[in-house]
Amino acid sequence: MKRRSWMFWLMVIGTGAFLFQGADNSCSMPSSQEGFKEGQAIEIEDLAGILETHIQRVMNDRRKRIEVKEIRGYERIGLPPGTLSYEVSVPDQVYRGGNVSAAIRFAVNGKEMKRVRVTAQVNIFADVVVARSYLRRHHVIQERDLQLVNRNLSLLSPDVVTEFEELVGKRTTLNMNGQEVLRKSMVERAPLVKKGDRVTLMVENSHFKITALGEVQEEGGRGDRIRLLNTSSKREVYGRILDANTAKIDY
């Protein structure tokens, strides 16, 4: 959003409060606002900049870009000359973007002059992970299957994925189209073993270790407790998957 050229930031003065002043503080004010004829004005463009700066600092994530639009409930404010500061209060849910309410307190030379409450559309832009091409259900995801695109997070599900590492090695739970934004709920841990696989069944403690050949009865990943069949005794047992070839039997 375009900013007026007369404004520049000088310093931070406490949590959520910034100090600024104009190169020319003599802004013409309506005569009905007594005492402000040669003061300074806060336009809606300035307020958008205040909110964007504050939310960006609250989120503390340089990978995300904040855009404030459609400010409602605000009228041009006229204030007397002097050092102008402000404090902003936004809800904790601001990190999700969307329709956000904000309270702003303006002060001149440390004295409170005006309080306003507004609502605005907060857009949060960041890189998210999308499928590079069509992926079938139960496809084990590799890095080559993924790419990053910049999207408005406020229009997406809260569980969108922003890092390749959250997906690589997992498998899809449904078919995915190319350029589709990926969510955590669309993937699952890829199983190390599936029904019918042959594994070594192991029973051990501090005194002995016994192994036998077994057959997997249900798929599972590392650390999962699943049903197994001892192929020698034909007895069904339960054990925990250690790797793609070994399961430790409950003992």
Using the predicted structure, report yes or no on whether residue 108 has a pLDDT greater than 80: yes
> How is domain 125-189 classified at the architecture level of CATH?
Alpha-Beta Complex (3.90)
Which of the residue ranges 12-16, 60-64, 198-202 would you say has the lowest mean pLDDT?
Answer: 12-16
Tell me the C-alpha to C-alpha distance, in Å, between residue 240 and each of 67, 128, 158, 224: 49, 35, 33, 5
Q: Which strand (E) or helix (H) includes residue 44?
A: helix 44-59
Instruction: Look up tokens 């016994």; give the residue.
Output: 210
> How is domain 7-124 classified at the architecture level of CATH?
Roll (3.10)
Length of the chain: 251
Domains of the chain, by residue range, sit at: 7-124, 125-189, 198-249
Residue 32 CA neighbour count, 13 Å, CB half: 1
User: What pLDDT is stored for residue 15 in this prediction?
Assistant: 35
Q: Could you tell me how many helices (H) and strands (E) the chain has, helices first?
A: 1, 17
Using the predicted structure, report yes or no on whether residue 2 has a pLDDT greater than 80: no
Tell me: domain 198-249, CATH 3.40.190.10, correct? Answer: no
Contact call for residues 7 and 19 (beta carbons, < 8 A): no
User: What pLDDT is stored for residue 14 in this prediction?
Assistant: 35
User: What pLDDT is stored for residue 4 in this prediction?
Assistant: 42
Using the predicted structure, report yes or no on whether residue 167 has a pLDDT greater than 90: yes
User: What pLDDT is stored for residue 39 in this prediction?
Assistant: 66
